[in-house]
Amino acid sequence: MKIGVNVLNFGPGTDPGALRSWAQTVEGLGFDLLMVSDHVAITPDVAERYPAPFYEPFTTLSWLAGLTTRVRLGTTVLIAPYRHPLLTARMAANLDELSGGRLVLGVGVGWARQEFAALGIPFERRGRLTDDHLRDVRAAWADTASYGDRRIPVWVGGNSDAGLRRAVRLGDAWHPLRCTMPWLREAAVRLAESAAEQRLPVPALAPRIALRITPAPVTGPQRLAGEGTIDQIMDDLDQLRRIGAETVVLDPYQGDPRETRRPQTAWQALATVAAHLDPTTRTGTEQS
């Protein structure tokens, strides 16, 4: 099972130097994947959670590709309706080629109504637009004369049943975000059932989970996967491996933008996890 990291490409403490340090830390600790998020217009609903500066993901990942050599690069998640599908296809194909085939394209439908309005995109149609977008992107990549032989993994985000079904129809992996372990165990079953109903292959499971290390165990039904003592977190990762997760992305962001001024806290948590990983059970790292 591969382990990735959600890197903070927004907030008052984020600048090129911080992004460079994030990338060097993630790759240096041996993680397999570095992912960033996506917003275009930092409207009030977006700024409340993810304030400016917000570094655009394709631009940021292209720059980080030149600062790294091994770690894969991805979006968690690109908001599909915000860009023309041919633009997404071209930028993704170029980034994948320039990085030596390291791109993972995670996509989602989006949630920020004000941002949709600012971009002139109908919020109520975002699900259908995302479906059309993914079909058009894949059709563009199939034109090998223009795009080369691109086999970029597409992860479909969204915790809803619609997101799960979309992943089966149009994705290589399902990428649910910040869930409890019981929810993820049940969701893995639903994913297989949906694939059987649609008579399609079961996509990979690639969840993004929390990363919050606590001195004492966290208990109760609302405990997120990846939250608690290091032993709890390592047990969560083991359980995810057992239910078939191919990649797990760790998200150290706790929701306060001021955290971006103190990335060392997140880096220490990542170092603690890295020190507890058994290299003999992982793929994709320098130890394998």
What is 51-96 written as a DSSP string? PSPB--HHHHHHHHHTT-SSSEEEES-EEGGGS-HHHHHHHHHHHH
Contact, 6 vs 249, CB < 8 A? yes
Nearest to 34 by CA among 98, 84, 106, 135: 106
What fold, for 2-277? TIM Barrel (3.20.20)
pLDDT tens string 176-209: 999 999 999 999 999 999 999 999 999 999 999 9
Q: Are strands 247-251 and 212-213 parallel, antiparallel or unpaired?
A: unpaired
pLDDT tens string 50-87: 999 999 999 999 999 999 999 999 999 999 999 999 99
* Residue 270 predicted with pLDDT over 60: yes
Distance CA 280, CA 288 (A): 7
Q: Which residue is listed with tokens 């060392």? A: 264
pTM: 0.96
- List the single range of 1-5, 33-37, 141-145 with lowest mean pLDDT: 141-145
pLDDT tens string 159-172: 999 999 999 999 99
Distance CA 221, CA 223 (A): 6
Q: For residue 213, report the phi and psi dihedrals to the nearest 5 degrees.
A: -90, 130
* Residue 43 predicted with pLDDT over 90: yes
Query: H/E element holding 2?
Result: strand 2-6
One-character DSSP codes across 111-180: --HHHHHHHT--GGGHHHHHHHHHHHHHHHHT-HHHH-S----EEEE-SSHHHHHHHHHH-SEEE-BS-B
Nearest to 261 by CA among 9, 14, 8: 14
Contact, 184 vs 207, CB < 8 A? yes
pLDDT of residue 280: 54
pLDDT of residue 282: 52
Give how far Cα 114 sits from Cα of 8, 15, 39, 85, 230, Å.
22, 25, 12, 21, 39
Distance CA 258, CA 49 (A): 11
Task: Break the chain into its structural domains and give their ranges.
Answer: 2-277
Stretch 209-223: mean pLDDT, rounded? 97
Q: Which amino acid is at 174?
A: W
Rg of the chain taking only CA atoms, in angstroms: 18
Residue 272 DSSP class: H
Contact, 270 vs 260, CB < 8 A? no
Find all residues with CB under 8 Å of 189, minimum gap 6, and list them: none
pLDDT tens string 12-30: 999 999 999 999 999 999 9
pLDDT tens string 100-149: 999 999 999 999 999 999 999 999 999 999 999 999 999 999 998 889 88
* Residue 287 predicted with pLDDT over 50: no
